[in-house]
Amino acid sequence: MLITTAAVVLRTYRYSETSKVVRLATRDLGVQSAIAKGALRPKSRFGAGLELLSEGQAQLYHRNERELQTLAAFDVERLRRELADDLARFAAASALAEIMLRMAPPAPLPAAYDALTTGLDGLASQPADDVDATGVRAAWLLLGILGFAPSLDRCVRDGAMIAAADDPIVFSAAEGGAICDACVQRNPPAVCTRLPPEAYVDLLHLVDDAAPLPRLDPAHAAAHRRLAARFARYHLEEPASGSPALEFWERRTWLPTPAPTVAS
């Protein structure tokens, strides 16, 4: 069956001298693998359309029982090359693509596709000062749609309300969210993050796309990247080496490239 669906290129691999395998996030079929025959030929009908994070209309010869579909055509609508011009934007976008690639099913989930494309568009268009917060929000929203939303307003153990206070809020990636003081005192989690009150409020805003986007200074932005990336990696049940885009987004610090010095 030939199916046409909106799609984003998540990853590509060389398959032979002339072809490549593409991993696509599609709106109507979920995440799919497909072979693009002849994509590496100089006059390929795919042209530059199969660039990472490009979006368009994919035509797939699709069978439910087949793991590798055949890509008949990809009519590109947006290349998103502006993401490649800024390392922070590209790192966040790659992290979103990795979450989608590793956690989304090969079945229709339009809300996840829309969350991915909305996040990519936001990363491409937001001012530089808001890129980190935009990427973190997009990651949390995508994780939520995929079934991994953190519990922040209620304790993940006993359901007690979590109230913002003067003391840090205990957050456990392993358990899936915030833990109330009573539960912490009875049985402290082995590994947790203690969120200062301001950071907890920022996190509440980051997981809510209707809330104002918080302004994060570099140190707090890095902390929120770490929290989202580690939460995602934990629920992938894989070490950092199994999710290189998340690891890069979490750990790297981007500084302006110094101007070259000229010897006198």
Q: How confident is the model at residue 21 (pLDDT cuts 50, 70, 90)?
A: very high
Instruction: Give CA separation, 166 vs 98, 182, 198, 199, in Å.
Output: 36, 16, 9, 12
Q: Is the dihedral of CA 162, 164, 166, 168 positive or negative?
A: positive
Determine the pLDDT at residue 68. 96
| In the chain, where the domains are located | 2-79, 82-251
Determine the pLDDT at residue 56. 96
Q: Evaluate whether the domain defined by 82-251 bears CATH number 1.10.10.1100.
A: no
Q: Which of the residue ranges 5-14, 61-70, 247-256 would you say has the lowest mean pLDDT?
A: 247-256
Helix axes 218-236, 197-206, angle to 10 degrees: 60
- Burial (CB count within 10 angstroms: exposed 0-12, middle 13-18, buried 19+), residue 253: exposed
Bigger pLDDT: 225 or 252?
Answer: 225
Determine the pLDDT at residue 139. 98
Q: Does the predicted model carry a pTM greater than 0.95?
A: no
Bigger pLDDT: 47 or 15?
Answer: 15
Domain 2-79, CATH: 2.40.50.140
Q: How confident is the model at residue 259 (pLDDT cuts 50, 70, 90)?
A: very low
Return d(Cα 38, Cα 92) in angstroms, integer: 31
Return d(Cα 159, Cα 80) in angstroms, integer: 42
Determine the pLDDT at residue 257. 42
